[in-house]
Amino acid sequence: MRIAVGADHAGWSLKETLVNYLIDRGWDVEDFGTFGPDSVDYPDYADKVAAAVAAGDAERGLLVCGSGQGMCIAANKTQGIRASLAHDVVSARLARQHNDANVLTMGSRFIAQGLAEEILAVWLETPYEGGRHTRRLEKIEQIERRGI
C-alpha cells in the first residue's frame, strides 16, 4: 500500500520520524514535504497529499502540523477525502471503522513520537466496518457532489 505524507514546519520533525517508521515496516511512502523547519503554509501540503489520495496515486494519506486541525480542514476540501484528526488510538480506530478515513492528521504539539507511531499503526491496520456506516458515507458523498 502506498501512503502520501506531508507536513508543515511545525509537523516536519514528527513527519520525518513517521516516514522512517513506515519505511521500516515496508510501506511505499511518497513524501511531499516539507523537508525542513523553515516556515511554510500547511494548506499547500494538505492539498498535495489529498490530491494524491483522491487521484488514487496513494491509498492513504498522513498529514502533520502543530495541532492537526488545519491540515484536517484543508484536506477535507478535496472531494473524496475523509480526513480525520486523531490524538489517541481510539479515535484513530473509529475513524477507520466507522468513517473509512483515508487521510490521518496529527498534531505534533500534542503527541509524542511513541504514541504517534501507535496511532498510525492502528489507523493503518484497522479495516472499515461497512454495514450501517455505508449509508452515512453515501450521504457525505451526496453533500460533496452538491458542491455548495
Q: Residue 2 in contact with residue 53, Cβ under 8 Å? A: no
Catalytic residue among 65, 72, 87, 133: 65
Q: Is 72 a catalytic residue?
A: no
CA distances from 143 to 16, 60, 148 (A): 35, 22, 8
Q: Is 98 a catalytic residue?
A: yes
Q: Which of 105, 120, 95, 33 is nearest to 64 (CA)?
A: 105
Catalytic residue among 9, 72, 87, 98: 98
Hey, which residues are catalytic here? 65, 98
